[in-house]
Structure formats: structure tokens, C-alpha cells
Amino acid sequence: MSDTDVCLQPATEIARLIRQRTVSASEVLAAHLQRIADVNPQVNAIVTLDIDGAQARARAIDEALDRGEDPGPLAGLPIAHKDLAETKGMRTTYGSPIFADFVPDFDALIVARLKAAGAVTLGKTNTPEFGAGSQTFNPIFGPTRNPYDLSKTCGGSSGGAAVALACGMIAIADGSDLGGSLRNPAGYCNVVGFRPSPGRVPVWPDPTPFLPFAVDGPMARTVADIALMLQAIAGPDPRAPLSISEPATLFTQSLERDFRGVRIAWSPDLGGLPVDPRVSEVLAAKRDIFIQLGCRVEEATPDLHDADEIFQVMRAFRYELTLGELLDRERHRMKDTVIWNIEAGRALSGPQVGRAMRLHAALLGRLYDFMQTYEFIVAPVSQVPPFPVEQPYITEINGVPMSNYIEWMRSCYYISVCNVPAISVPAGFTRDGLPVGIQIIGRSRADLEVLQLAHAFEQATQYWRQHPKLVIGCN
């Protein structure tokens, strides 16, 4: 098998080959390191690289397998961690010049669980400053480029992770999602990004442990790879009070399911959001896929009319809570949009936060009632296709002006406040070859069911097999 074949295989297949000793973990790592050397200079997805450490970890996996031991479900799979997640002994910058030389002395929980499951850490992936905005660039490392069109953005904030996956530089990736940071870049790069239910993948450290909006989760090239990762990163942790008690073995269950008669709410604009016609054209052609799977597809949208206020208030509240003290010390080294979001938090009154919490409770009640009728909602991931990499954010859609740097991502963050699992799955390409993702949203804590429908859609469409031209034929 050539290096190209290894690097673009699903993680489930790479893991199988390593366990069967068809290839060694060291050989798999070598192929991925060569891919990084060949491709990363063009896309700038991986920003920190630890070759010696990765080689030592791969050798340890090989030696464990030689002894007949089980190194874990992710044994030998190369991974680079999002540069917002702390990595012990490895630089973690948060995309900020303030932390350009910061080396933590601990691993974030998701990193620790991935390592314990046998994944081979080789470095870190690029992210916008403090993860702010769905466009991956920062003053330390610069922009990450879309591998399907180097003049376009890859989205964000898990943009480096999505690009590294799409280019075959890593087999699996971790990320985080507050307003769409696992789903938007996945949609922009033709990979899969899953926002799990809050508590499904416990977050630690977390300065807001009782707020359900920011989650950690997996990103991969196929839905089965997402399920494989969840076997390692899901499950409760006593440091995360929102943890879901179900064990990670939930995700060893089959992704195959009969969807005949299942009711789906088809929501092409989530109740009136402006959506670029290029996105709408791609997604409209996919409605029949769900009908062919046996689903009853009806155009319907839950009442999300307060979602914008809830998200904007609680996001600002969180930004002030987590970064307010840093702003007092380092304002001159912080991005303008980050400053704006922190100051928006400082301008909030107690009654404003209380009102957002009351609205949130009411929205969850309305959504529960809606999803007694429909098991799933299908909607756009992003309202626009990938845009020029030099453009910090979208300022208007279909002539509708956006009032701030995140408003163009309402199709994602409306769902963030719903406390439900949602996944971005490749759904095709615009006429000029830019990837478009489709968002599948499930009932509360129905993470496995979301994966099952996403898997059925993926098997029917096979878009994951279409790779960027710049990696085809790489050695």
C-alpha cells in the first residue's frame, strides 16, 4: 500500500491494518510525516510538530502489539491536537501572541483520553485567536488555507484540524465547538465534524463547568471514524459536572439502522436565515437521499426566535468570565473582535443574563415538544460557502448585513443553544468546486442516533472519497 493510500484511508481501516500488523504504527507515522512535509507548507494546518516524540510513541505502540498487549482502540493513529487544548510539554498558544511560548505541564482531558487510547500525538493544529470566529488565522502562524481552493478560508475555529484531515496529514482530530467550530470547518473541508451533546465528551479544564454551550468533540474523515474516537473520549469524569453517565462503549454499537418511517424536519434556512444560493442549490438536491433511505421528510422548523439573544448574551458572558482579566493586562496584544466580545460581556447587567437564561429554558421546552414529532432536523451547516482567506468574516448574505463578526454563523450557533447533538457531513460541492456540509440535528442526548443517520447519508453519497487535488498522487 502506498503512502497516499495509507494517509487517505478511514481511521478505522488504518487502525485495523496496524492491529493486523499489515503495517506498523511507525510506518503509518512516517507516511503522515512525509505528507505533512509535502503539503503543510501550502495550507498551514499544523503549527507545532514533535517528530521525535511522535516516533517514540509509535514505537511504543508497535512494541506493545508485539507483546500481545492492547494499546487501545486508537492504537497508532496519528493525531494533532487543536491549539486551544493544553498538551503537556508541548507548546499551546491559543492562537495568541500572549501565549506564543506557553508550554503547559498538564494535558486537557480530551488529549489525555486520546493518548490513553493509543493515538500518536504529532503536533498541534491552527486556530484563530482564542478560538474567536469561524475563520482560522492568527498573528503567530497566519492563515490556514482551504485545500480545495487555496485562496479560500477553511472556516474555524477547528480549521487546522479540518484541513489536516482533508489532506491526510493526520488520521483523526479533536476540536471544540461553541458557535460551530467543529461543524463549520468540517463542512468547508469535506470532512465530518460532530458537536456532541453537552457532557458527552467531558471538558476539563473548564472555567464555566455549568454552562452547556462550549463542548469538545471529534473530527474525522468518516462517521465510523467519529464513532471510533467517541469510544475513547466519551464517558463521565468527576471534574465535569455536566458529564453524561453513559459509558463510551455506547459507540461500539452498529451504525446500521433501518430509517423507514422516521420523520425528519427539513429546514433549508432554519426559519428564515439568509442562505447563499450556492449552498441552497447543493443541499436542495440532497432531500431525496433521505427519502430514498425511507424517511418521511417534511419542511418544518422549531421555534428558535430567541436563539440569537441567548447565544450572544451567554457568549459575551463567557468571554468576559474567561478572558476579562487578561484584557486588563494585555489589551494591546488582543484581536479587536475578542476585545469587542469581552467588552460586550462587561456591558451586560444581571437582569440581561437572567433574561437569557429564562429564554433558554423556554426554547429548550419548545424544542422538546417539536422533537416529539420529528426525530431529526436537517439544515445547512454554514449559510455561505468558503470565502476569500483574506476576509476576516462575512459582513452580508444575500444583501442582508451582519451586525457583528459571528452573526453569519447563526445556522450553527442557533443549534449550539439547543443542547442537542449535531453533525456536519459532506454533502457535495458548489459549481466551482467548494465543499458544502449538511447538518443533521438529533434529540437530546441521542448522539448515537445522529451518527446512524449521518452514516446512512454518507454511505448513500460517498462524498468523503473526493479528496483535494493537491494531495492526489503525493508520495
Q: Which residue has the cell 458537536?
A: 195
Residue 148 to residue 189: CA distance in whole angstroms: 7
- Please indicate whether residue 82 is annotated as part of the active site: yes
Give me the catalytic one of 82, 115, 124, 335: 82
Task: Please indicate whether residue 181 is annotated as part of the active site.
Answer: yes
Q: Which position among 96, 157, 197, 243 bears the catalytic label?
A: 157
Q: What number of CA atoms fall less than 13 Å from residue 132's CA on the CB side?
A: 24
Identify whether the C-beta of residue 160 lies closer than 8 Å to the C-beta of residue 126.
Answer: yes
Structure letter (DSSP) for residue 90: B
Of 134, 158, 181, 411, which residue is the catalytic one? 181
Query: What type of residue sits at position 406?
Result: I
Question: Running DSSP on this structure, what letter comes out for residue 23?
Answer: S
> Within the chain, what is the greatest distance between any pair of CA atoms?
63
Distance CA 262, CA 92 (A): 44
Q: Where are the beta strands (DSSP E) in 117-276?
A: 120-125, 145-146, 149-153, 172-177, 192-195, 215-220, 263-266
On the question of a cis peptide bond just before residue 2, with omega within 30 degrees of 0, the verdict is: no
For 379, the enclosing helix (H) or strand (E) is strand 376-380
Distance CA 160, CA 300 (A): 34
Task: Point out the residues that are catalytic.
Answer: 82, 157, 181
